[in-house]
Amino acid sequence: MTDPDLRRAILARVAGLRPGTTCCPSEIARDLAADWRPLMLAIRAEALRLQAEGRIGITQGGKVVAGPDLRGPVRLGPPA
């Protein structure tokens, strides 16, 4: 799985969300592979790049978060 594949998958999932909703990065990983857990770090890294470009938003507990040291569950959605 390449970064462009992950990028496309993240952007497609976020674009398909209903207004006001978000998704878990694991949903994207599950769409891509039966053995999805190894994809999680790469998906989070690509999500951070997309957030830095202003293409998606990342939230935790309903609040916008950023940075490579994120810990715990996050949600992906449209930029705030």
Q: Give me the CATH number covering residue 40.
A: 1.10.10.10
Alpha-carbon gap, residue 75 to 58, rounded angstroms:
6
Express each pLDDT in 22-42 by its tens digit: 999 999 999 999 999 999 999
Percentage, residues of the chain above pLDDT 70: 100
The encoded tokens of residue 32 equal 């891509």
Express each pLDDT in 4-21 by its tens digit: 999 999 999 999 999 999
Q: How confident is the model at residue 68 (pLDDT cuts 50, 70, 90)?
A: confident
* pLDDT higher than 90, residue 80: no
Centroid of chain to Cα 69: 15
Q: How many domains does the chain have?
A: 1
The encoded tokens of residue 14 equal 């976020």
What range does the domain containing 43 cover?
A: 3-77
DSSP 8-74: HHHHHHHHTSPTT--B-HHHHHHHH-SS-GGGHHHHHHHHHHHHHTTS-EEEETTEE--STT--S--
